[in-house]
Amino acid sequence: MQWTDRIRQVKILLVTAAVIICAASLIWSHFLVSDLAVEEQTRMEVWAEAMRSLSNADDDADLSLVLKVINGNHTIPVIVLNDDGSVQAYRNLDLRSESEADIDREVRKLASRMKADGRVVRISLDDRAFMEVCYDESVMLKRLASYPYIQLGIVAVFAVVAVFALLSSKRAEQNKVWVGLSKETAHQLGTPISSLMAWTQMLRETYPDDELLPEMDKDVKRLQMIAERFSKIGSLPEPKPENLNEVIAHVTDYIGRRTSNRVTITTRLPEQPIYANLSAPLFEWVVENLCKNAVDAMDGSGAITITAAEEPSRYAVEVSDTGKGIPKGQFSNVFRPGFTTKKRGWGLGLSLAKRIVEEYHKGRIFVKSSEVGKGTTFRIELKKK
């Protein structure tokens, strides 16, 4: 559990660092854009003064510097309006209209938008006449303003792809560990199970009327089923229609005979059989694991209720207990490998149950509800084929 918390702390630290870097990049870019916007405004004030000098100049005036200033604007869109609102001149506009009337209408519309944004410089020509110089942000300024967001978007995409690749690699590595461990466990169980089968056969011939032999046979068969479960991990089992009621009844019968009398197990099954496509040995393992966890959560005293139902698009199985309960913030963590609240335990049971339900049965398992001190309900959903 400590290792899980440490990994979570590292993730939080990395996310916090990424947010700080993104925020710093946006703030710095904002300052750059603001400085460039002020510089463009100053340039347009100078350009407007040059227009006024050109309008008020006499025939003998030297206009070379004025024209140089006016013709030097190649980036900032600008529109010059007369005092009656008519268009006198414009530069650096990306117009889509073709006819003169449409062009004039489009230029007026652009000028109105520029004035609404506050980008206008008013020039007084004499006591009554004036001109308005309307301008917009340059292409460079617009690109600079949008560049940080594009950059952050690209970085975010690469980060998501990298995280997805790392998680996929980690999941594949975990799957190899699961499969290797399961196969080795099944292999190691094979020899003692064969030996036990031989011994029970010899005992049956020697003591044919012994009442304990049938129970020993049941335990040996149980070990065989456990070995079969482990051997199926890593290979794709062939799901086939199984009576869900019988599968649950088989689990409750086994758990009921191996738990304290202080634990009551109740089943709520429909009268009609429910046939679902599943691997019976693996699915029994899932329900059995939930029941064992429930017994541990109740400290050997309480009630377990197993409910099965057929819904319009799925089959549902719920396992409820009257145990300690799970805090809401831990609902998603209970299925993580290594997570356990018990002093003894590997924290692998629910993780393996999740893999069996989701990967082998294409279903879903989750904590439906839980309240600390009152109990927990796990829900399994299997899609109808």
pLDDT tens digits along 270-299:
888 989 988 888 898 899 889 988 888 888
Query: Highest mean pLDDT: which of 120-134, 235-249, 301-315?
Result: 301-315
Q: Kindly indicate the confidence band of residue 322, based on its pLDDT and cuts at 50, 70 and 90.
A: very high
In the chain, where the domains are located: 2-137, 236-383
pLDDT of the residue at 85: 79
Q: What is the predicted pLDDT for the residue at 237?
A: 63
Q: What angle do CA 110, 111, 115 make, to 5 degrees?
A: 120
CA distance 80 to 50: 12
DSSP state, 257?
Answer: T
pLDDT confidence of residue 1: 44
pLDDT above 50 (res 15): yes
Q: What is the mean pLDDT of the chain?
A: 81
Q: Tell me, what's the pLDDT at 319?
A: 94
User: What is the reported pLDDT for 343?
Assistant: 55
> What confidence tens digit (pLDDT) does each residue in 80-116 have?
888 777 888 888 888 887 788 888 888 888 888 888 8
Torsions phi, psi for 223 (to 5 deg): -65, -40
Distance CA 31, CA 266 (A): 68
- Residue 382 pLDDT > 90, yes or no? yes
% of the chain exceeding 70 in pLDDT: 86
> Does pLDDT of 161 surpass 50?
yes
State how far the Cα of 322 lies from the Cα of 341, in Å rounded to an integer: 16
Region of residue 194 (left: phi > 0; alpha: psi -120 to 50; beta: else)? alpha
Residue 333 has pLDDT above 60, yes or no: yes
Q: What is the pLDDT of residues 25-60, one digit of tens each?
A: 788 888 888 888 888 888 888 888 888 787 777 666
CATH of domain 236-383: 3.30.565.10
User: By C-alpha distance, which of 45, 129, 31, 39 is closest to 82?
Assistant: 129
Q: Please state which of the four CATH numbers 3.30.1490, 3.30.450, 3.90.320, 2.60.40 is assigned to the domain occupying 2-137.
A: 3.30.450
Banded model confidence at residue 248, pLDDT cuts 50, 70, 90? very high
Give which of 108, 117, 70 is closest to 86, Cα–Cα. Answer: 108
Query: At a CB cut-off of 8 Å and minimum separation 6, what does 261 contact?
Result: none
pLDDT value of residue 2: 47
pTM (2 decimals)? Answer: 0.50
Neighbours of 22 (CB within 10 A): 15
